[in-house]
Amino acid sequence: MQFDLKKQIIFEDDDVLIINKPAGLVVHPDNTYKDNTLSDIVVENYPKIKSVGQEARPGIVHRLDKDTSGLIIIAKNQKSYDYLIEVFKNRRIEKKYFALVYGILKEKNGIIVYSLEKKGKVRARLSKTSKPALTRYEVIKEYGDKFSLLDVKIETGRTHQIRVHLTKIGHPIVGDQEYKFRKMEDSELKRQFLHAHYLKLRLPSGIEKEFNIDLPEDLKDFLSKL
């Protein structure tokens, strides 16, 4: 996909880039996507980042699924990379997502705790042996008796955590073809309604910052039709 990196930079200093990633863009190369990923585009614009972090994913300290949009952090140098890896490892970062799910939740806010493990190359599943994963949610708005818009905060960062957890409690994310229930009607939305809208952390510079972005147009348009 065509992606103008400069137009999607939310914040930049000597240490990091904060980028608004669109849906449809893979964060780094893997067995399926070899090029034209976010990390490729970043290196094209910032060649020095090529030597930062892991060779296959330069500058990348966390990820978003291909069809999840929103805020993502890129390290611009090795010192910042090492710092941010520790920030994520020790959970000194606050991340929130907007998620539209099927159905009306009985509990308007709650905590979901289930262990997860990767199954195969992509899909995640519940597990009794892996480390616990914790997801908090709050209902923002309900659309009739069919949909609920949630503000979701993750305390851990497991693969597909939000998507699997919400399916587990009976409320899959709208547009998520991988984890939806078979009985769920197909949505006109061409990707899962999941958007990373908020980040709060202390940057490598020592300054604590918050970043907050609105829903992208495709998700706004979908909500307007409900």
Q: Which residues does the annotation mark as catalytic?
A: 65
Give CA–CA dist 136/151, Å, rounded: 8
Q: At 109, list the tokens.
A: 């806010």
Q: At 191, list the tokens.
A: 């990707």
Give CA–CA dist 179/224, Å, rounded: 24
Find residue 93's DSSP bridge partners: 201
DSSP characters over 147-165: EEEEEEEESS--TTHHHHH
Whether the CB-CB separation of 103 and 144 falls below 8 Å is answered with: no
Which residue, among 19, 2, 27, 23, has the nearest Cα to 173 in the 3D structure?
23
Whether the CB-CB separation of 185 and 168 falls below 8 Å is answered with: no
Instruction: State the greatest distance between any 2 C-alpha atoms of the chain, in Å, as a whole number.
Output: 51
Task: Dump strand ranges (E) for 22-128.
Answer: 69-75, 93-102, 109-118, 124-126
